[in-house]
Amino acid sequence: MNSAPIIPCTERHLPAIRDILNDAILTSTVLWDEEPRTLEGIAQWFEYRQRGGFPVLGLESADGTLAGFASYGPFRTQCGYRFTVEHSVYVEKSCRGQGIGKALLRALIDTARAREIHSLIGVIDASNHESIRFHRGFGFVPCGTIPEAGYKFGRWLDLEFYQLILRPPAASASS
């Protein structure tokens, strides 16, 4: 297990975030984008996260490069969803299998609890059994499947939703 501290990502991490995401876009169905992301697009995404008060957490390898990152943002834009967020965790391909993803998701869950988030949602390609197993290990439960919701690499993809409820429903209802 990696023992490096979880840190807030900064602008200096944006090229590494882009590279990690682009590897996922080009080689997997983790992301359903078909075109690589640009540094400008990543900067806009990061600025949106910063303005909205959403965390972008990272873990650096011993040489100071970003080994992985995690974030969450709005699940839906309507006010009634304000206590539910959709999260993501990405680990650089050479750093996988070292506990980095677990450390990042644990930190993201702790951050969500501290900010009185009620529910974390993972949106996962149904054929991504590794991500499903990863989320189940943290107590996420399946809560819905949309068959053939997306198309990538010449095939239809099913979308699964996994949820982790962090506190009783009434805990933040008055906010």
Residue 51: CATH number of its domain? 3.40.630.30
How many distinct structural domains can be found in the chain? 1
Q: Is the pLDDT of residue 167 over 80?
A: no
86-108 pLDDT per residue, tens: 999 999 999 999 999 999 999 99
Report how far residue 48's alpha carbon sits from residue 50's, in angstroms, rounded to the nearest whole number. 5
Instruction: Indicate whether 75 belongs to any domain.
Output: yes
Instruction: Indicate whether 61 belongs to any domain.
Output: yes
pLDDT for position 3: 72
Which range marks the domain in which residue 70 is found? 6-172
pLDDT for position 1: 46
Report how far residue 73's alpha carbon sits from residue 162's, in angstroms, rounded to the nearest whole number. 15
pTM score of the predicted model: 0.92
Paired sense of beta strands 155-165 and 141-152, if any: antiparallel
What mean pLDDT do residues 104-132 have?
97
Q: Which helix (H) or strand (E) holds 16?
A: helix 14-27
What mean pLDDT do residues 143-150 have?
98
Instruction: Indicate whether 1 belongs to any domain.
Output: no
Instruction: Indicate whether 78 belongs to any domain.
Output: yes
Under the banding of pLDDT at 50, 70 and 90, the label for residue 170 is low
Strand partners, 68: 59, 91
pLDDT for position 93: 95
Instruction: Indicate whether 113 belongs to any domain.
Output: yes
